Amino acid sequence: MKKLKTFLIISLVFMGQLMLAFNSYAGTTKEYFDQGLSDGQQGDLTQAISNFTKVIEIDPDFPNVYFNRGLAYYKQGDFDQAIADYTKAIEERPNDPVNYNNRGNALDAEGSLDQAILDYTKAIQLSPDYPDAYNNRGFDYTKEENFTQAIADLNKAVELDPKHVTAYVNRGIAYAKQRNFTQAIADLNKAIELDPQYGKAYSNRAVVYYHLNDYSKAWADVHKADELGVAVNQMFVERLMQSMGIGG
């Protein structure tokens, strides 16, 4: 009887140690995950990826870890790894439109436009009121010179979100490629009205002003874009300078 009591005591102690170990194990996983989120917010993408990877090594089923590591890879420019992680996130949550939209962004970044459009379309099917997916698909349609579909998607994006600055810029680009410069200027003006610090609106408006032979406004927008940290194509700048009679 004494031996049985001793065995029971040892067993209970051992089980208690296991429970403590498990609790510590789970706590460490969450700590790595939370630190990864913090690292990502602070721009330390390498450390964020390292912490999310540790989470996966401990618990591959930890919620949202592949999604967040995929986002860090995307921001780091490692699009293949981002696609792999977003694919895993889709396997975990196949009805989440954000997973498809984000994988579409990574596919777009590596030049797989048709596959990106399929992902944006799936995101829209899952969430018909998702303005980012319409914006992203519209921009890819512009790249493919399918301007009718591009403008339809970008119209939907600004209908759903009238303050969607990027959608106005992208629609302005689509109009400009159709040589509808009046509509292009209107959209780029709207984007700047909504966000005066959005440098890409100025860089694209500079190109439109150039085509309208309004070189002084184009030059002002080139300078504003540069001031905001957006580089303007050097060949375009040289052509603009020649048209203005600046330089040798």
Please check whether residue 3 lies inside any domain of the structure.
no
Co-location of 245 and 160 in the same domain: yes
Please check whether residue 141 lies inside any domain of the structure.
no
Please check whether residue 140 lies inside any domain of the structure.
no
Co-location of 167 and 248 in the same domain: yes
Instruction: Locate 107 and state its tokens.
Output: 């596919």
Co-location of 124 and 189 in the same domain: no
Contact status, residue 144 vs residue 157, Cβ threshold 8 Å: no
Co-location of 123 and 165 in the same domain: no
**Among 82, 110, 128, which residue terminates a domain?**
128
Please check whether residue 145 lies inside any domain of the structure.
no
Phi then psi for residue 191, to 5 deg, are -60, -45
Number of domains in the chain: 2
Co-location of 119 and 165 in the same domain: no
The model's pTM is: 0.85
Co-location of 193 and 159 in the same domain: yes
pLDDT at 27: 54
Give just the sign of the alpha carbon dihedral 7, 8, 14, 17.
negative
Please check whether residue 87 lies inside any domain of the structure.
yes
Residue by residue, pLDDT tens for the chain (248 residues) are 444 444 344 443 333 443 333 333 345 899 999 999 999 999 999 999 999 999 999 999 999 999 999 999 999 999 999 999 999 999 999 999 999 999 999 999 999 999 999 999 999 999 999 999 999 999 999 999 999 999 999 999 999 999 999 999 999 999 999 999 999 999 999 999 999 999 999 999 999 999 999 999 999 999 999 999 999 999 999 999 999 988 65
Please check whether residue 209 lies inside any domain of the structure.
yes
**Among 113, 128, 143, which residue terminates a domain?**
128
Tell me which residue range forms the domain holding 55: 44-128
Please check whether residue 79 lies inside any domain of the structure.
yes
Helix (H, G, I), strand (E, B), or coil: what is residue 163? coil
Co-location of 168 and 98 in the same domain: no
Please check whether residue 53 lies inside any domain of the structure.
yes
Co-location of 92 and 168 in the same domain: no
User: What is the distance between the alpha carbons of residues 27 and 15, in angstroms, rounded to a whole number?
Assistant: 18
Q: What is the CATH number of the domain that holds 247?
A: 1.25.40.10
Phi then psi for residue 209, to 5 deg, are -60, -35
Co-location of 245 and 175 in the same domain: yes
